[in-house]
Amino acid sequence: MNFKASKEIMIYIACIILFCSFVYLLLKPNVVKHVFSSPSQAHIEFLSHYGWTIKKTTNTTSFELYSYPWLDEYKRMGLDLTPYINKQLETSTYLLHEEEKRIDDEVRKIYMTIYEHNGEILGRWAI
């Protein structure tokens, strides 16, 4: 077997692995589903309460929340999601019109994620 043939076999195997992984993610229950949509009026009003305005939707997902180490950090910062462990949550992430100017004069875009359970807004998290 020459080098070219073994390289082609490795590429073929990698493609099969990627395809199988993709099929697994599609068929696995409770997998995150990405749906891009316009922001709801409730989200617009919720963020406007803090003086923020939505520029565009970047991501919406639905997932079952499991116990993660980062939940403690969220809780310390005021977003307690622990009552919703093993429940279905929805998140919507938005790019905001507002930007953050840093000490070194670098301007950073602000992304805000809103967490919901059964249509009830639980809180938000800036990225």
CA distance 15 to 28: 20
Question: Higher confidence at residue 13 or residue 24?
Answer: 13
* Percent with pLDDT over 70 in the chain: 71
Question: Higher confidence at residue 103 or residue 48?
Answer: 48
pLDDT per position as a tens digit, 57-116? 998 999 999 888 888 888 998 999 999 999 999 999 999 999 988 888 888 999 999 999
Beta strands in 1-127 (DSSP E): 54-64, 88-101, 107-117, 120-126
Instruction: Give first-to-last CA distance, the chain, whole Å.
Output: 51
Question: Which candidate, 118, 113, 122, places its Cα nearest to that of 92?
Answer: 113
CA distance 48 to 44: 6
